[in-house]
Structure 1
Amino acid sequence: MSTPVDDDLWSAVGDPTRRRMLDLLLTGGARTATTLSEQLPVTRQAVAKHLGVLQRAGLVHVTPSGRERRYEVDEAQLARATAQLASVGASWDARLRRIKRIAEAIERERHEPPQASAQDT
């Protein structure tokens, strides 16, 4: 079962705009909402809201710089998030392998000829 922090994480990384923002911050370093909005197809206000979601999930932190606020990826939290997402992915992979084995067993049973019982002889 997920915890609220997990829910914040999933919500944060579930949006393609926020994933793109993380990419921009990772490749270009700390940036303001205005600079990010210049590279995204959304308004500065929308960028600010997306940054708020990323900040609540702990994926970015903000540093005041004069009148500006610079956002930067929290690499330690991103590493924890990546590990958590990988763990969930591995868990689902295992579940899907079990489902596949069950489905294959059912399919084999459907196609096998019925076996003669002792009563039939």
Structure 2
Amino acid sequence: MPEDRLSTTLSALADPTRRAILARLALGEASVGELAEPFEMSLPAVSKHLKVLERAGLISRGREAQWRPCKLEAAPLKDVNSWLDGYRRFWEQKFDRLDAYLQELQHVDPGAGKN
């Protein structure tokens, strides 16, 4: 059964190394070597992470002579944001109700109920 795009994207984002790679690519294109620098792992290990990101559509790889720059492709992140939007509204409603309750508590007479 093929995975849907959202599941593939979320799976790719589940790993902190891949999220760090995407954060670096948000600054601009980079080679595999440049992307590997901050990590204590081999180039083949970084390449495996890049393949996961590429399959999820989160990066693309170009070809310029010997240099194969990686580039962020943010469109799948828009799908994640849209999915999260419903939950964002859920929590905003919860916080609005909490805020209203706290406002109500502040207006209660502090001496009420004391004998």
Measured against the shorter chain, the TM-score band is 0.5 to 0.7
Following superposition, the deviation at residue 70 of structure 1 comes to: 1.2
Is the counterpart of residue 24 in structure 1 residue 24 in structure 2?
yes
Q: Match of 2:5, SS?
A: helix
Q: Unmatched 5+ residue regions in structure 2?
A: 98-115
Contact 2:26 2:72 in 1 (8 A): yes
Higher relative contact order (CA 8 A, sep 6+): 2
Amino-acid identity (%): 29
Corresponding residue pairs, total: 92
The aligned counterpart of 1:50 is 49
Measured after TM superposition, the shift of residue 21 of structure 1 is 0.3
**CA positional deviation for 1:5:** 1.6
Q: Which ranges in structure 1 are unaligned for 5 or more consecutive residues?
A: 102-121
SS in 2 for 1:41: coil
Kindly state the Cα deviation for residue 54 of structure 1 after the two structures are TM-superposed: 0.9
**Aligned residue type for 1:92:** Y
**Map of 1:41 onto structure 2:** 40
After superposition, where does 1:53-68 map in structure 2 within 5 Å? Answer: 53-68=52-67
Counterpart CA distance in 1 for 2:49 and 2:65 is: 22
1:4 offset after TM fit, Å? 2.2
Q: Which residue number in structure 2 is paired with residue 12 of structure 1?
A: 12
State the Cα distance separating 1:90 from its structure 2 match.
2.8
**When you count helix as a share of all residues, which structure comes out higher?**
1
Q: Is the 8 A contact 2:6 2:80 kept in 1?
A: no
Task: Give, in angstroms, the shift of residue 73 of structure 1.
Answer: 0.8
> What residue in structure 2 maps to residue 86 of structure 1?
81
* Secondary structure in structure 2 of the residue aligned to 1:47: helix
Instruction: Output the amino acid matched with 2:4.
Output: P
1:81-101 Cα shifts (integer Å, max 9, x gaps)? 333222222323438x68xx9
Tell me the residue number matched to 1:72: 71
Task: List, as ranges, runs of 4+ consecutive aligned residues in structure 1 with deviation greater than 3 Å.
Answer: none
How far did 1:13 drift?
1.3
Q: Structure 1 or 2: larger strand share?
A: 1
